[in-house]
């Protein structure tokens, strides 16, 4: 190695930790705020469902995840707004996680500071993906969010995936 390469390598080695330490921290959010939780949308694109029909256990798992999310947010001090006044707007949309910000606009109408939406996408019985996104209702900007892939279609795998999201992206 030439002297110049050694010097460059030395500076990169010394400066990398400093630059990494200066990365902005994840934005905090108000744990006393009101949240419009629109639930978790289930997207099933699997061959199994096309062949054998929907699996009721998967719909029960969606409810399990929604309960888990509500519990974690409630325990952290956040409260949920009643979605009933916006029922008509909500029912017009297939997936509130992908509606070009309609979730944030509805959350503002409901008096919430945040919109919370999630998805579970089943590609096959072995490959599933889940995400949860907390958005600032006023701006639509994502405040917190995470996507995880899971490799099993059972209660424990689904719960483990959502616990990971909640623990590492929202309440770390």
Say which residue, 6 or 148, is predicted with more confidence. Answer: 148
The pLDDT, as a whole number, for residue 147 is 97
pTM: 0.83
Residues with Cβ within 8 Å of 7's Cβ and at least 6 positions away in sequence, in order, are none
CB 116 within 8 A of CB 169: no
Domain parsing of the chain, residue ranges: 32-170
38-88 residue pLDDT tens: 999 999 989 888 888 889 999 999 999 999 999 999 999 999 999 999 999
Chain mean pLDDT for the chain: 88
Q: Phi, psi at residue 44, to the nearest 5°?
A: -110, 105
Record the tokens describing residue 25, joined without a space: 């921290």
Position 11 pLDDT exceeds 80: no
Q: Which CATH superfamily is domain 32-170 in?
A: ABC-type transport auxiliary lipoprotein component (3.40.50.10610)
Provide mean pLDDT across the span 110-135: 96
Position 150 pLDDT exceeds 80: yes
* 169: number of Cβ within 10 Å: 18
């Amino acid at each position: 190695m030439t002297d110049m390469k050694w010097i460059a390598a030395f500076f990169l080695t010394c400066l990398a930790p400093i630059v990494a330490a200066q990365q902005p921290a994840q934005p905090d959010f108000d744990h006393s705020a009101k949240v419009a939780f629109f639930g978790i949308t289930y997207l099933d694109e699997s061959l199994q469902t096309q062949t054998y029909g929907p699996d009721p256990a998967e719909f029960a798992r969606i409810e399990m995840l929604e309960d888990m999310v509500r519990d974690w947010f409630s325990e952290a001090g956040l409260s949920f707004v009643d979605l009933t006044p916006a029922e008509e707007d909500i029912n017009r949309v297939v997936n509130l996680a992908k509606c070009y910000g309609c979730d944030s606009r509805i959350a503002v109408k409901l008096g919430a500071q945040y919109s919370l939406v999630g998805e579970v996408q089943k590609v096959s019985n072995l490959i599933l993906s889940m995400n949860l996104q907390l958005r600032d209702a006023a701006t639509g900007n994502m405040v917190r969010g995470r996507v995880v892939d899971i490799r099993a279609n059972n209660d424990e795998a689904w719960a483990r995936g959502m616990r990971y999201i909640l623990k590492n992206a929202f309440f770390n």
